[in-house]
Amino acid sequence: MSQQNEVTQDNVDQWIQWMQQHLPRFQVCFKDESRLQRLIGWLLWPINRTYMTEYTTVMFGKIYFPSREEIESWGPAQVYAILRHEFVHLMDAKRFPVWFELSYLLLFPAGLTLRAYWEWRGYTQTLLVEHELYGTISDDIQEHILRRFVNSEYGWMFPFPNWLRRKMRKLCQSIEAGEVTGPYPYKEWGRETPPLRGV
């Protein structure tokens, strides 16, 4: 799979600045520097042992990356994709105050949760970025996202992998056909967002 559009650190910085303009409370933070995040990591340890090292988290207008060292090792393309995903969560939290936080955090773990609804919106953005960067959406990224929904890390939020796989393939077809565009679901903001190099 060859990359179609290069992502630079400038792209990441421009996206962060754009988010700060539209989301006044927005900050980039790091879990290993937060007492609250360390406590959450300890509480989640029985079902998610990589919360502190592999996951980014949105909470109260902030994005928490695992650590400064981890974000440096990921590279601009991965960080950019994560920011695009978390942008959707931040916008949902702004549009649905209190309800987003409560429904995302408290209905966990459970078989069918509103967490799955919010994450589907975020991961739609992830699939859009994959298509924008590489011109296609790999089976690997689809299976990676599928595991997030059906495994313990997100509290078994939607334990129906076959149904979800079919839904995801249909979504990918819509993205590739140009029927779903970014930054979904806030696509009306698309003209404002900083362009990627090469787009």
Per-residue pLDDT for the chain (199 aa), expressed as one digit of tens each? Answer: 445 678 999 999 999 999 998 888 899 999 999 999 999 999 989 888 899 999 999 988 899 999 999 999 999 999 999 999 999 999 988 888 878 877 766 555 444 567 888 899 999 999 999 999 999 999 999 999 999 888 877 777 788 899 999 999 999 999 999 998 877 777 777 667 887 765 4
195 part of a folded domain: no
Instruction: Count the domains in the chain.
Output: 1
Q: Give me the domain span that covers residue 160.
A: 9-189
What is the token pair recorded at 10? 């400038």
Q: Which residues on adjacent β-strands are paired with residue 59? A: 62
Are 110 and 102 within 8 A, CB to CB?
no
170: in domain: yes
Q: Would you say residue 197 lies in a domain?
A: no
C-alpha of 77 from chain center: 13
3 part of a folded domain: no
- Residue 122's pLDDT is what? 93
Question: What 3-state class would DSSP assign to 130?
Answer: helix
Closest CA to 149 of 187, 98, 111: 111
Cβ proximity of 148 and 192 under 8 Å: no
Residue 1 belongs to some domain of the structure: no
Residue 106 inside a domain? The answer is yes
Query: What pLDDT score was predicted for residue 2?
Result: 47
Asked if residue 154 is part of any domain, the answer here is: yes
Residue 3's pLDDT is what?
52
* Helices (H) then strands (E): counts for the chain: 9, 3
Residue 2 included in any domain: no
The helix (H) or strand (E) run that includes residue 28 is strand 27-30
Instruction: Give the model's pLDDT for residue 106.
Output: 56
